[in-house]
Amino acid sequence: MESVTLPEDKLSLLDTYIRSLDDQEGMLIHILHRAQHLFGYLPPDLQLYIARSIGIPASKVYGVVSFYSYFTQVKRGEHTISVCMGTACFVKGAEQVKEALKKELKIGMDETTIDELFTLKEIRCIGACGLAPAVMVDDKVYGHMNEGNIKAVTSSYKGV
């Protein structure tokens, strides 16, 4: 039942990888890396699947996933939009930029759009305070953001 939402082809690749390991429990981090690479994230049902596959408690898998910031339990979009909430940006209206982005993308923070194009996140100072309020899309910085120019930025990432 736990695999209902997980694509069978990817599960089978993960199974093959797990079976190839001698010390499966000792290789848990490697298995999780592999799983995140395959699925893009580590949802609870996938964590449960891995725990059952190698015969360890799900709580142990969860403990590792939540300890390392590299691992994510939330599906990420193709592009990550990071809204700077550092002091300079906050003073210059980052909160309004954040709200406008949520409205434009129809998602909350740490969520991903239905088309899986964008994930919205908060970030601390990105070193572009002179451009406050700033937003980063993947590793590209956009400055002087406001409700009026948000759409131009997001549209530039949408396919023609």
Binding site for ligand FES (CB under 6 A): 84, 86-89, 125-129, 132, 134
CA nearest to 6, candidates 43, 31, 32, 33: 43
For ligand FES, which is the closer residue by CB, 86 or 112?
86
Is 61 annotated as ligand-binding? no
Q: Which is nearer to ligand FES, 101 or 128 (CB)?
A: 128
Least gap, CB of 109 to ligand FES (angstroms): 16
Q: Has 129 been labeled as part of a binding site?
A: yes
Helix residue spans in 7-159 (DSSP H): 8-19, 28-39, 44-54, 58-67, 87-91, 94-105, 150-155
Q: Which position has the token pair 């590299």?
A: 70
The residues that bridge with 136 in the sheet, in sequence order, are 82, 141
CB of 82 to ligand FES, least distance (A): 10
Structure tokens at 3: 């695999």
User: Is 84 marked within a binding site?
Assistant: yes
- Kind and range of the H or E element at 135? strand 135-137
- What is the H or E stretch that residue 7 is in? none
CB of 107 within 8 A of CB of 64? no
Between 46 and 98, name the residue whose CB sits nearer to ligand FES: 98
Q: Any known ligand binding at 114?
A: no
Tell me how far, at minimum, the Cβ of 153 lies from ligand FES, in Å.
16
CB of 99 vs ligand FES, minimal distance in Å: 16
Q: Which amino acids are annotated as binding site, given as ranges?
A: 84, 89, 125, 129
Q: Which amino acids are annotated as binding site for [2Fe-2S] cluster, given as ranges?
A: 84, 89, 125, 129
